[in-house]
Amino acid sequence: MPRELITIQVGQCGNQIGRCFWQQALAEHASAAAALGGRATSATYDDCMSSFFRNVDPRSGRDLGVGTPLAALKARAVLVDMEDGVVNETLNGPLGELFDQRQLVTDVYGAGNNWAHGYAAYGPQYGDALLEAVRAAAEKCESLQSFFLMHSMGGGTGSGLGTYLLSLLEDSFPEVLRMVTAVFPSQDDDVVTSPYNAVLALRHLTDHADCAMPVDNQSLLSIAAATATAAAASSIADRGRRSSTGALSSSASSGPGFDGMNSIVASLMADVTASARFPGSLNVDLNEIATNLVPFPRMHYLVSALSPLRVPPPPQQMARRASLPAPERGPRGTMPRLIADALSPTRQLMRCDPARSRFLACSLLLRGDVTVSEANVGVEKLRGSLDMVHWNREGFKVGLCNVPPPGLQRSLLCLSNNCCVAQSFEDLRQQFCKLYTRRAMVHHYTQFVDQSVFDEALESVTALIADYEELNTAPAPAHKQWAEPAF
């Protein structure tokens, strides 16, 4: 039985990603249902949908069980923003029906790019309302598995209120996994205070999340650009034999925008949860990801990479796209290619190069038409080429989910707990220090919090970097000759 996930989107960035994510989730379930054949299943609320959606009787407002015809789908989500623009946009858009008022926590003023405002002012002010909204969503779950928080680290609401919420969740739902997708600011971020916000938030992410998947805007932008190019190329190649290239070329011509970037993050979240939602021969639920990839509680940052590139169709094309036949298996779809792509530095959702650093653990989540033995062969090849930490040389976790993302035959999400993430944190720390040595902008924060939080956050990130560095450089103990089997 699939277990439920509650998505919590905080701040402008979180809500924009959330919107893309819900579009994608709907499309996935629509195409999964279509793939089951033209039976009535397409209009039935099934087990797979129940992990993200509720089926509500519009008249009585009561939840309907699995197996009932689709009435009104409601997302298991809580939308939080202190500046209600994006949330309102979502509500008034095509996805508006997915959410109702009880799922929203909004204000109109915004946290002004100030972590402290979000954390220390809005946090206590909206704490009860947030918990109430989360509790209401949790009560509608039979067996809640995980919270999925999406927020940015550089802003005020997402980073401040998001991390405040994280510790609330830890206190109130200690048994429920806390997964976080955190968008880190890029080097040339336009928010001056973003290094402050990110480092201050990072400390709470380190202390209170179970698993965090950091992504950064720069990487997203370049992947989105590559995706647009690929889409353009494939639409040119396809023009001769397929007529419905309009969708593809239009997305290519509009260039990589926020939507392109957000949909990459949405794909990431869809793939991470795919095994929890759809059947597969080797299911990996979120608990298993946390178990296998987090050797030490604070070192829970998972670098992610998707292959192949996901060409995002515009929303109005979603339904049509879902019914398109999957493209034939091209060279891009072979296992070695999928794996090679997923390890390439250009495909990482966080700016780093895992193949050149030490892995603490690695997870390959495959979707679509892949057999156990193919996956094992792929892992076998990787084992020789990657630098795995000596006490976890076999630390590959493979997941196989039968249902591919819409429009693809097979896909791979590679999650790696890799020491290279320390470099990104180090860059962030340096930017933080550049500001903090001059105590620039600190007065905005001291309105809300004591200045000591800066020092504590700096200490926390420094310790985290040191932990990763130590593992990255620690040599394996002198090879002890274990007795060979004597029989």
Chain contacts with other proteins (rule: CB under 8 A): 281-283, 285, 287-288, 291-297, 360-361, 371-374, 376, 379-380, 383, 389-398, 477, 480, 482-487
* Contact by Cβ (8 Å): 1, 143: yes
Least Cβ distance, residue 131 to other proteins (angstroms): 23
* Contact by Cβ (8 Å): 268, 306: yes
Least Cβ distance, residue 273 to other proteins (angstroms): 15
Which of 271, 270, 195, 261 is closest to 429 using CA atoms?
A: 195
Residues 6+ apart with CB under 8 A from 363: 284, 289, 292, 293, 302, 396, 397, 398, 399, 414, 415, 416
Please report the DSSP string for 205-250 in residue order: HHHH-SEEEEEEHHHHHHHHHHHHHHHHHHHHHHTTT-STTHHHHH
**In terms of CB distance, is 129 or 141 closer to other proteins?**
141
**In terms of CB distance, is 175 or 188 closer to other proteins?**
175
State residue 221 phi and psi, 5-degree precision. -60, -45
The per-residue b/e assignment along 94-123, b for 16 or more CB within 10 angstroms, e otherwise, is: ebeebbeeebbbbbeebbebbbbbbbbbbb
401 token code pair: 């989910």
**In terms of CB distance, is 218 or 283 closer to other proteins?**
283
**In terms of CB distance, is 109 or 391 closer to other proteins?**
391
Max CA-CA distance within the chain?
Answer: 75
**In terms of CB distance, is 294 or 306 closer to other proteins?**
294
3-state SS, residue 280? coil
Q: How far apart are CA 272 and CA 413, in angstroms?
A: 8
Least Cβ distance, residue 156 to other proteins (angstroms): 33
**In terms of CB distance, is 205 or 318 closer to other proteins?**
205
Least Cβ distance, residue 146 to other proteins (angstroms): 12
**In terms of CB distance, is 115 or 396 closer to other proteins?**
396
Least Cβ distance, residue 118 to other proteins (angstroms): 30
* Contact by Cβ (8 Å): 130, 168: yes
Least Cβ distance, residue 330 to other proteins (angstroms): 21
Least Cβ distance, residue 148 to other proteins (angstroms): 17
Least Cβ distance, residue 466 to other proteins (angstroms): 16
Least Cβ distance, residue 281 to other proteins (angstroms): 6
State residue 228 phi and psi, 5-degree precision. -65, -40
**In terms of CB distance, is 389 or 422 closer to other proteins?**
389
Terminus-to-terminus CA distance in the chain, angstroms? 45
**In terms of CB distance, is 57 or 380 closer to other proteins?**
380
The neighbour count for residue 71, using CB atoms within 10 Å, is 17
Which of 77, 74, 93, 79 is closest to 13 using CA atoms?
A: 79
Least Cβ distance, residue 482 to other proteins (angstroms): 5
333 token code pair: 């779809």
> Tokens 């095994």 appear where?
275
